[in-house]
Structure 1
Amino acid sequence: MNTQSSVPRHVLPVLVLAQFAGTSLWFAVNAVMPDLQREFGWPATAVGTLTSALQAGFIAGTLVFALLAIADRFAPRRVFLVCALAGAGCTVGAWAMVSDFGALLAWRFATGFFLAGIYPVGMKIAAQWYTRGLGPALGLLIGALVLGSASAHALRALGDTLPWPTLMLGVAALAAAGGVSLHALLPDPPGAVARVTTLQWRALATIVTDARVRSSVLGYFGHMWELYTLWVLMPLILATRLQGTTLSWTAFAMLGAGVLGCVGGGWLAPRFGSARVAGVQLAISGLCCVLAPWLMGAPNALFYGWLLVWGITVSGDSPQFSTLTARNAPPQAVGSVLTLTNSIGFAISIASILLFVELTRTVPLGWLLTGLALGPALGLWALRPLLRERA
């Protein structure tokens, strides 16, 4: 088993860059949707439909990968490579058939399915290498995902200078390069747990039966109730004061600031424990939800400061929840437990997004945002056992 000091220096940079490259597939179409809507006359709701198709594909993929124990039965770096290449191929297919909205939906669903072999599997690889110091490692790894998520807004701001086919094909090439580089540059870690040959139903059940796994998993579910819904609503919040390119760049800054929460939380975790770091960030983001009705109308300095703090903390707890789950799950099934947790978490996020987007029609935005605090409240309640033992 590896300690952090024995891990070759190139491992974490390769993992982070490959994760960023692979998960860039998530945003390839969303970033160019304004151009596609103008060119093909699609309604404003098209972006939501495409986003839901990809999220549904990811949920289906993570469920299949977890139930078949793909990341634990096969070499994770090989799974990552195959899924990165397949996801890149799906994005090229989306580019080739982009004028057919039904075909585009199918390609985006397939892209989401193969992302199940990139994001959770990248965490499994990190857990294999970093049996100690996993919190800081996942802080950087998930920070790369957060930056990639926010980059959709930056790409949208650059849409006037880069044609949409270039953006789509460029993202496909980037993802393929990420998969190839990880497979070529990272060997299987020495002392890794032997791969299983049978399905691990009892191990998957630990998200319910094991108190420590259940605590971190429920905390993660509360985090997911809030996270992606805020990401969807952030442009609406900013649109009360900004528009156009300025809005896109500001959304990128506010959401991309989550990298600070991920990396900073990872730096603090060895000293204070992953549960405490996650709990503090979850409490702060929950407070940001509760204060929304008053801060929506605040002076600019307070308004943008509030959104910056929210952007940092709403993402910053995610690596520590994954660290806790990976640390407490059965060693032979870490990949499958993480993948199943992701599947359920993203299903929760879709339900939250659909509910809150529908409620924007009838509920003032400031008061609506307070409903996101239900997630952090659940998460903090669930974390109590781990907080007591300084996990």
Structure 2
Amino acid sequence: MKQGRWKALFWISLSQLFALSIWFSASVILPELKVIWGLSNSTEAFVSSSVPLGFIVGALVSSYFGIADRFNPRKIFVVSALSGAFFNLLILFSGSAFIGISLRLLTGFTLAGIYPIAVKILAQWFPKNRGLAIGILIAALTLGSALPHFIIVFLETVSWKFIIMISSCLAIFAATIMHYFVTDAPTTAKKTIFSFMLLRKVVKNKPVMLANYGYFGHMWELYAMWTWLPAFLTASFLVNSPEISPWYSALAAFIAIGVAGAIGSVVGGFVADKIGRAQLTMIALVGSSLCALLIGFTFGKMVWLTLLVAFIWGIFVIADSAQFSAAVSEFAEVEYVGTALTFQMCIGFAITIITIQALPFLQAIVGWEWVFAFLSIGPIVGIFSMEKLRKIEKIEG
């Protein structure tokens, strides 16, 4: 059993890594899409924010109809990955912003059957002590999200269409892995439902809402950072070294988001099991808020300094991600765990749309030097919530 679950973790994480490549596949080729689709500064941000919007809708539909409980989760993952690959591939034939953004919306919808479902499958294999396991899975999510940046490093002179094709192929590969290499766990997770009627109980549960507030602050920062840090790095490197190659910025983005994020996720999961979830999240929130405030001061300065701060930020910004959901699952009653987790995820991703859309407008006003300071607001608010939750954990633990 023990050996089997770590084998399952490997294949589940690998399939998630490949499947999540379609999340930012269009974001990394925005300069090309901006010309092809005739994007304005306002519609450009919609290319990225449409994915979390589709994810929210998909999560609500899946939870409301209990799809994850009514059908085999591995099959849901396979169908979702194949569908996501298909919608992502259709971008090749899209000639307008409306169709392109609609396809990204549908891609986000399918991702709701990939990321949460992978967590559910993993939970079945790790009914206890899953902090490190979830950390590894989040590391795969982070690497997968950053993978398109890594692809660009090797395909700098290749058409943007190849990036879309490769990310779709990886999603198909993910479906293949999940179907042929991942087996059903010997134990199944308890059925958790979503119900609007139960939302009142979620809102009245103080520890659950404190964990939610921490998560909301975390999400205020996370996806906006992942979306716009590559543009910041490119602009910063060009100021310092106008002759620098574009592939360098792509590699830097992959290192800061993917590699650093993977390290942060694994270490965060390990440390959370040792010192407590609330304590770990506070450390991560403090670190990420400081980096959001400081990275602007490195703009146009030495390349290594900018990359160093970005790398540290990449570690802290994701280290706490899994622990918010874990905290909710521990403090919520069994009857409404599903509702609580769905509520947390949907509000969290809705917040990402706000910050993803807002950053380009703020950047035009305050410049790259100050724009990321706006993201520090979220983790700072989250710190106070998690400090209150830490005291509750101490009393109950």
- Scaled by the length of structure 1, the TM-score of the pair is 0.88
8 Å CA contact 2:21, 2:144 repeated in 1? yes
1:150 aligns with 2:146: yes
8 Å CA contact 2:212, 2:324 repeated in 1? yes
8 Å CA contact 1:220, 1:318 repeated in 2? yes
Match of 2:169 among 169, 173, 176: 173
Q: CA deviation at 1:292?
A: 4.3
In 2: Cα distance, 1:290 partner to 1:27 partner: 25
8 Å CA contact 2:16, 2:144 repeated in 1? no
Q: 1:157 to 1:252 in 2, by over 3 A?
A: same
In 2: Cα distance, 1:62 partner to 1:41 partner: 28
Match of 2:79 among 74, 82, 90: 82
Give, as a single letter, the amino acid of the residue that structure 1 aligns with 2:230: P
1:60 aligns with 2:57: yes
Q: Provide the secondary structure at the position in 1 that maps to 2:6.
A: coil
Bigger mean CA deviation after superposition, 20-29 or 99-108: 99-108
In 2: Cα distance, 1:293 partner to 1:160 partner: 27
Q: 1:99 to 1:21 in 2, by over 3 A?
A: same
Give 2:216's aligned residue.
221
Q: CA deviation at 1:273?
A: 1.7
8 Å CA contact 2:268, 2:280 repeated in 1? yes
Deviations 1:167-222 (A, max 9, x none): 323322321231242244334323324546x7544555554222232222211110
Q: CA deviation at 1:35?
A: 4.3
Give, as a single letter, the amino acid of the residue that structure 1 aligns with 2:226: W
In 1: Cα distance, 2:174 partner to 2:337 partner: 23
Q: CA deviation at 1:297?
A: 6.7
Deviations 1:241-299 (A, max 9, x none): 33522222212211121111101111222211222222111111112233345444765
Q: Provide the secondary structure at the position in 1 that maps to 2:237.
A: coil
Structure 2: state its 5+ residue gaps: 239-243
Residues 299-318 of structure 1 aligned to structure 2 (within 5 Å): 300-318=303-321
In 1: Cα distance, 2:34 partner to 2:176 partner: 33
Give 1:246's aligned residue.
248
8 Å CA contact 1:203, 1:330 repeated in 2? no
In 2: Cα distance, 1:137 partner to 1:233 partner: 29
State the identity %: 34
Give, as a single letter, the amino acid of the residue that structure 2 aligns with 1:276: Q
Give, as a single letter, the amino acid of the residue that structure 1 aligns with 2:47: L
Give, as a single letter, the amino acid of the residue that structure 2 aligns with 1:229: A
Larger proportion of helix: 2
Q: CA deviation at 1:379?
A: 1.1
Bigger mean CA deviation after superposition, 56-65 or 222-231: 56-65
Bigger mean CA deviation after superposition, 320-329 or 372-381: 320-329
8 Å CA contact 2:46, 2:357 repeated in 1? no
Give 1:11's aligned residue.
8
Q: 1:173 to 1:203 in 2, by over 3 A?
A: farther
1:189 aligns with 2:185: yes
Deviations 1:328-383 (A, max 9, x none): 44446655543432221111011112222211111143333222221111211111
In 2: Cα distance, 1:376 partner to 1:326 partner: 21
Give, as a single letter, the amino acid of the residue that structure 2 aligns with 1:137: A
Give 1:260's aligned residue.
263
CA RMSD, 1 decimal: 2.7
Deviations 1:6-42 (A, max 9, x none): 753311001101111221221233334444556x373
Residues 330-349 of structure 1 aligned to structure 2 (within 5 Å): 330-331=333-334, 334=337, 337-349=340-352
In 2: Cα distance, 1:353 partner to 1:281 partner: 21
Structure 1: state its 5+ residue gaps: none
Q: 1:130 to 1:386 in 2, by over 3 A?
A: farther
Q: Provide the secondary structure at the position in 1 that maps to 2:366.
A: coil
Q: CA deviation at 1:118?
A: 0.8
Q: Provide the secondary structure at the position in 2 that maps to 1:234.
A: helix
8 Å CA contact 1:7, 1:130 repeated in 2? no
8 Å CA contact 1:226, 1:373 repeated in 2? yes
Q: 1:28 to 1:293 in 2, by over 3 A?
A: closer
Q: 1:110 to 1:190 in 2, by over 3 A?
A: same
Q: Provide the secondary structure at the position in 1 that maps to 2:212.
A: helix
Q: 1:147 to 1:194 in 2, by over 3 A?
A: closer
In 2: Cα distance, 1:7 partner to 1:86 partner: 29
In 2: Cα distance, 1:288 partner to 1:36 partner: 30
Q: 1:92 to 1:61 in 2, by over 3 A?
A: same
In 2: Cα distance, 1:332 partner to 1:121 partner: 19
8 Å CA contact 1:143, 1:263 repeated in 2? yes
Give 2:26's aligned residue.
29
